[in-house]
Amino acid sequence: PEEVLARLKDTADRLAEERAALPPADVLQSEPLSAGCVYGVYDPFTRTCTVARAGHPAPLIVGPDGRAVALDVPEGPGLFSTDSALFAPATVTLEVGSLLAFCTAELLSGDRAAELITETLARPGRSLQQLGDDIVYALPDDTRSAGAALLLARTGEVSDHLVATWDLAQDPTAPATARVLVRDRLQGWGLGEDTVEATELIVSELVT
């Protein structure tokens, strides 16, 4: 995640330079630029989630027991900030069925907004769609009209019997061997031919 944010920051810096180079009479020349981003990657094989952020609130984590905490992620500079500090990721292992909530700052504004969101997310037996609707409709109208955004995700895991691991020799025959192994395994799992062929190609490129 930190590498993605670093590339976004480079792009934002170039946009800021282009904006500053506009003629002084152009109204956009002096208009301030501001943007934040939070980026997370969840690995269902290890149940680890790695997050980095740039001038954006950290995600909330709600465990299967309903306890909600904000992930302790170092705050990096905003994408259009002149601060050149590096983005530092944080990694946490999550229980299956944990809920991740990514919220914009507008959604967390107000005296009880954060408390309301965590209370709502802790409700048992609700789908992600239902939880999202519950939060949106419980917030004041001015919050909903301020460009607030909410992204919810629930963690799962990949069962060991759906994981294949092979050791391949470092020689020119490795890609062909990998394709055969992948095809046999995916066909054994009953996957369609389109999926088999696409995965063969991906694995072959990775091994080459």
Q: What distance in Å separates the CA atoms of residue 155 and residue 133, rounded to the nearest whole number?
A: 20
- pTM > 0.75: yes or no: yes
pLDDT of residue 21: 87
Find the range with the poorest average confidence among 15-29, 70-84, 190-204.
15-29
What DSSP string describes 15-54?
Answer: HHHHHHTS-TTSTTTT------EEEEEEETTTTEEEEEEE
The contacts of residue 49 (CB under 8 Å, 6+ apart) are: 40, 41, 42, 43, 71, 91, 92, 93, 94, 100, 155
Q: Is residue 145 predicted with pLDDT exceeding 60?
A: no
Question: Percent of the chain having pLDDT more than 70?
Answer: 95
Q: What distance in Å separates the CA atoms of residue 126 and residue 158, rounded to the nearest whole number?
A: 23
Neighbours of 40 (CB within 10 A): 20
- What integer best gives the mean pLDDT of the chain? 89
Mean pLDDT, residues 88-113? 87
Q: Is residue 51 predicted with pLDDT exceeding 60?
A: yes
Mean pLDDT, residues 115-121? 84
Q: Element (H or E) spanning 92, and its range?
A: strand 90-93
Q: What does the pLDDT look like over 178-202, one tens digit per residue?
A: 999 999 999 999 999 999 999 999 9
pLDDT of residue 73: 94
What the chain holds in terms of domains, given with CATH numbers, is 2-154 (3.60.40.10), 164-207 (no CATH)
- Rounded CA Rg of the chain: 22
End-to-end CA gap in the chain: 25
Mean pLDDT, residues 108-120? 77
Q: What distance in Å separates the CA atoms of residue 107 and residue 84, rounded to the nearest whole number?
A: 27
pLDDT of residue 146: 59
Q: What distance in Å separates the CA atoms of residue 184 and residue 202, rounded to the nearest whole number?
A: 15
Res. 110 pLDDT band, cuts 50 70 90:
low
Q: Is residue 170 predicted with pLDDT exceeding 60?
A: yes
pLDDT of residue 143: 61
Q: Is residue 114 predicted with pLDDT exceeding 90?
A: no
pLDDT of residue 195: 95
Res. 124 pLDDT band, cuts 50 70 90:
confident
Q: What distance in Å separates the CA atoms of residue 122 and residue 63, rounded to the nearest whole number?
A: 8
pLDDT of residue 139: 76
Q: What distance in Å separates the CA atoms of residue 138 and residue 149, rounded to the nearest whole number?
A: 14
Q: Is residue 128 predicted with pLDDT exceeding 80?
A: yes
